[in-house]
Amino acid sequence: MTLHECVNAIAALIFIIVLIFCARPLLRLLEQKKSGARDGQAGLSLVGQMALDRTRRLSVVRYGAREVLVLTGGNQDILMDWTERETFASALDASDAEDVA
């Protein structure tokens, strides 16, 4: 392998690495448009789910900056709570602190 071929291979490798790093912001922008985000803030998204039994499921849904706890299945679906805090994790931490006091 000559010096010229080595330089071409290294230049090609550097070019590919630069393309990968430049494509990341473009992919993030496309993902936001695909999910229906407006002004950098996503509309409705599912944060997490947990199966309680065969028919019921507990879900945390985020709308903008707020989160809601939803119980689905069984005879009816129940909207449990809109949180005033940022996340349900902070609400649980606050309730633990109240129980201790």
The pTM assigned to this predicted structure is 0.44
Q: Looking at the structure, do residues 59 and 101 belong to the same domain, yes or no?
A: yes
Q: Looking at the structure, do residues 22 and 51 belong to the same domain, yes or no?
A: no
Q: Looking at the structure, do residues 26 and 68 belong to the same domain, yes or no?
A: no
Q: Looking at the structure, do residues 50 and 8 belong to the same domain, yes or no?
A: no
Domains: count for the chain: 2
- Residue ranges making up the domain that contains 48: 41-101
CB 72 within 8 A of CB 56: yes
Predicted confidence band of residue 17 (pLDDT cuts 50, 70, 90): very high
Report, as an integer, the average pLDDT of 59-65. 81
CB 6 within 8 A of CB 14: no
For 91, the 3-state DSSP assignment is: helix
